[in-house]
């Protein structure tokens, strides 16, 4: 289990997170939803060692991390796919994938993992030799996730993977998340798209101004009046929700949730 306890972290002296506790079982999807600026990205950055914590602990399968380096986090089996589809634009798709497995020396093993990623994201196959910067936004997001998976992490931290992407791409990404569950990977998914995240999540929590204010199953949060009112129901979100409803139902049936 991936476990964060009473985490405090932020920027230049001021904490953004005020004692956040979250845990992720292997083979489960945990969604963190919350408004823009709530601290979702900060949570993932603090977990992966990108920013310093001022208090709290993080442990992986019972072993507490010291956060001496980002590498320690990677070695412990945690991969972080940051927001904004971060790929190396001036490297090819294949080179980006290889970077995700820099610690693997066996070329045959690296090739097998590349093949595995192309199975998950077939759209990348014909673009292996293309510069990552030339890909569409959706392809870049797929590549960013694939690069994270090249190290075969036990836990994946995903920051807003669906933001601004077409429904078909979002569908591919959520199908991969479902596949990861089957592979025993635990996923911590941070999303503003509350409906899609919650309808697929085993557990979920609401992050508000750096504090977890609500936890439960994905379904419980989906039915919570406060969540519905503030994060699901209104205005433009309805369009998004309708667009994704078919997909969510489909996935739920596939998972027999
Ligand atoms: N690099 C940064 N330097 C200083 N403050 C930041 C930085 N990144 C985010 N913040 C602040 O931290 C708070 C939480 O931001 P963030 O974690 O990005 O929220 P979310 O991902 O939920 O939208 C916001 O008030 C934001 O302005
Ligand atoms: Mg964010």
Atom of ligand 1 nearest to the CA of 160: 21
CA dihedral 137, 140, 146, 150 (to 10 degrees): -160
pLDDT at 250 (0 to 100): 56
Mean per-residue pLDDT pooled into runs of 10, the chain (257 residues): 96 93 96 94 94 91 84 90 93 97 94 97 97 96 97 96 89 90 95 86 96 96 89 54 54 57
> What is the CA(111)–ligand 2 centre distance, in A?
33
This model's pTM is above 0.85: yes
188: left (phi over 0), alpha (psi -120 to 50) or beta: beta
Distance (angstroms) between ligand 2 centre and the Cα of 42 equals 7
Residue corresponding to tokens 């002296």 = 13
Which residues, judged by CB distance below 6 Å to any ligand atom, belong to the binding site of ligand 1? 11, 16, 34, 36-42
pLDDT of residue 60: 94
Question: Encoding tokens for residue 27?
Answer: 């083979």
pLDDT of residue 239: 45
In sequence order, the β-bridge partners of residue 20 are: 7
CA distance linking residue 187 with residue 176, whole number of Å: 11
Please state, in angstroms and as integers, the Cα–Cα distance from residue 88 to each residue in 79, 131, 141, 157, 176, following that order: 17, 8, 12, 19, 22
Q: How far is CA 113 from the centre of its chain?
A: 20
The two beta strands, 63-64 and 78-81, are unpaired
- Reduced to 3 states (helix: H, G, I; strand: E, B; else coil), residue 59 is strand
User: What gap in Å lies between CA 87 and CA 133, rounded to an integer?
Assistant: 8
Q: For a substitution probing ligand 1, which of 39, 50, 53 has the most ligand atoms within 8 Å of its CB?
A: 39
Ligand nearest to the CA of 160: 2
Instruction: Report the pLDDT value the prediction gives residue 231, as an integer from 0 to 100.
Output: 84
60 SS3 class: strand
Smallest CA separation from ligand 1 atom 26, residue? 37
CA of 69 to the centre of ligand 2 (A): 22
CA–centroid distance, 210 to ligand 1, in Å, is 10
Q: Note the pLDDT of residue 247.
A: 54
Among 7, 9, 11, name the best residue to mutate to test ligand 1's pocket (greatest count of ligand atoms within 8 A of Cβ).
Answer: 11
Half-sphere exposure of 53 (CA within 13 A, CB side): 25
Q: What separation in Å is there between the alpha carbon of 39 and the centre of ligand 1?
A: 6
């Amino acid at each position: 289990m991936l476990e964060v306890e009473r985490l405090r972290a932020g920027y230049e002296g001021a904490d953004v997170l005020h004692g956040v506790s979250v845990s992720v079982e292997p083979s489960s999807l945990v969604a963190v939803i919350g408004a823009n600026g709530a601290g979702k990205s900060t949570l993932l950055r603090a977990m992966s060692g990108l920013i310093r914590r001022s208090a709290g602990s993080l442990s992986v399968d019972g072993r507490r991390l010291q956060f001496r380096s980002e590498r320690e986090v990677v070695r412990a089996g945690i991969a972080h796919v940051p927001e904004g589809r971060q790929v190396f634009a001036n490297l090819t798709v294949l080179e980006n994938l290889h970077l995700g497995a820099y610690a693997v020396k066996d070329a045959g093993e690296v090739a097998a993992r590349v093949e595995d990623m192309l199975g998950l994201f077939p759209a990348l196959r014909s673009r292996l030799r293309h510069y990552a910067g030339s890909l569409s936004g959706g392809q870049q997001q797929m590549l960013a996730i694939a690069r994270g998976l090249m190290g075969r992490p036990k836990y994946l931290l995903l920051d807003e993977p669906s933001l601004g992407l077409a429904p078909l791409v979002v569908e591919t990404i959520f199908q991969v998340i479902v596949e990861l569950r089957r592979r025993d990977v635990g996923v911590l998914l941070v999303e503003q798209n509350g409906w899609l995240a919650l309808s697929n999540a085993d557990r979920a929590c609401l992050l508000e101004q750096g504090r977890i204010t609500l936890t439960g199953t994905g379904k419980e949060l989906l039915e919570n009046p406060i969540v519905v009112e503030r994060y699901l129901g209104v205005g433009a979100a309805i369009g998004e929700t309708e667009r994704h409803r078919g997909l969510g139902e489909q996935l739920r049936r596939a998972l027999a949730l």
